[in-house]
Amino acid sequence: MTQLVPAPAPAGAVPAPSGTMRDRVPAQALIEQVLLRQAAARPRTALERLVGRDPVEPDARPWYAGAIGERAVAARLTGLPEGWTVLHSLPVGRNGADIDHLVVGQGGVFTVNTKHHVDASVWVAGRTVLVNGSSRPILQKAEAEGRRVDRIVAPVLADPPAVRPIIAVVGAKRLRVRRAPRVVTVLRAEHLPRFLLAQPDRLSADEVRALVARFEDPGAWLPTVEAGAEVLLAFSRLTREVRAAARTRVAWALGLAVIAVAGSSMIVLPGLVALFGGA
């Protein structure tokens, strides 16, 4: 569940009631926050573009990293077979909180909270989660997501199974679950589809259809706006700029390394010739 700063709807956003929650795109809430912060930033100068300065402003970087993580998880969930439904960025909190991904199939109902921790060490023991040694309250947030969706499920099914919260970790160098939490499943994002498909059937096909109909109804969630084409195009452009800037920085680093090696050779080689030539 992502905590968002309340903000006005971005340019290109359109009201949701005419569609369904299936129209929500992965990381939509985070994308909107990224673009709002980028819109207030000054453009990069020609020199900054030349040297490959990151186009994402410092204030927007946590939101951008979160959006990239959520979209990576969503891409993995697209591989689920027929019978599974996935919804994204569902608004549940009046302070702007959302559920990253909601997955429904005969194996049950699952909330998926994405955590993007590039090259980090993540350690889990019971209700304790440490990221690079620092405690994070992510289990409590995941449990709250499950309870929120339980309240939506309860009026639809007579005897529903509990919603199962999942934390999907993206990019971590190391993930160690020393003692599994009682309620929340913590796993690497790449293992998520396999975990879901391994679940025994808990719902009938009719129950799945009834739940999907309810989850797709905007009335089940807090009012929101849908992303217009301009929003998604702007984020795609920003992503391309980020990748191009990274390639530029790598090229500069390689070029400087070659110059450094060449400079060292100009100093070292004459010395070696003099040493061995006079032997």
Domain count, the chain: 1
Query: Is beta strand 128-131 parallel, antiparallel or unpaired with respect to 134-135?
Result: antiparallel
Give the global pTM: 0.84
Full domain range(s) for residue 190: 14-231
Q: Is residue 273 part of a domain?
A: no
Q: Is residue 268 part of a domain?
A: no
Report the DSSP beta bridge partners of residue 2: 98
Q: Is residue 21 part of a domain?
A: yes
CA–CA distance, 98 with 221 (Å, rounded to integer): 10
* Dihedral over alpha carbons 12, 16, 22, 27 (to 10 degrees): 50
Q: Is residue 20 part of a domain?
A: yes
Q: Where are the beta strands (DSSP E) in the chain?
A: 14-15, 85-91, 98-105, 108-116, 121-125, 128-131, 134-135, 164-170, 174-179, 185-188, 225-226
Asked if residues 4 and 224 have their Cβ atoms less than 8 Å apart, the reply is no
Q: Is residue 258 part of a domain?
A: no
* Dihedral over alpha carbons 154, 159, 162, 163 (to 10 degrees): -50
Per-residue pLDDT of the chain in tens (279 residues, 90 and over written 9): 444 433 344 344 434 444 899 989 999 999 999 999 999 999 999 999 999 999 999 999 999 999 999 999 999 999 999 999 999 999 997 666 899 999 999 999 999 999 999 999 999 999 999 999 999 999 999 999 999 999 999 999 999 999 999 999 999 999 999 999 999 999 999 999 999 999 999 999 999 999 999 999 999 999 877 667 788 899 999 999 999 999 999 999 998 888 888 776 666 556 545 545 544
Residue 276's φ and ψ, nearest 5 degrees, are -80, -25
Q: Is residue 65 part of a domain?
A: yes
Report the DSSP beta bridge partners of residue 103: 86, 110
Asked if residues 152 and 215 have their Cβ atoms less than 8 Å apart, the reply is yes
Tally the residues of the chain. Answer: 279
223: DSSP letter: -
CA–CA distance, 274 with 279 (Å, rounded to integer): 9
CA–CA distance, 51 with 49 (Å, rounded to integer): 6
Report the DSSP beta bridge partners of residue 241: none
CA–CA distance, 218 with 237 (Å, rounded to integer): 29
User: DSSP string covering 66-130, please?
Assistant: HHHHHHHHHHHHTT--TT-EEEEEEE--TTS-EEEEEEEETTEEEEEEEEE-TT-EEEEETTEEE
Cα–chain center distance at 10: 20
Q: Is residue 261 part of a domain?
A: no
Residue 213's φ and ψ, nearest 5 degrees, are -60, -40
The helix (H) or strand (E) run that includes residue 110 is: strand 108-116
Q: Is residue 213 part of a domain?
A: yes
Collapsing DSSP to helix, strand or coil, 59 comes out as helix
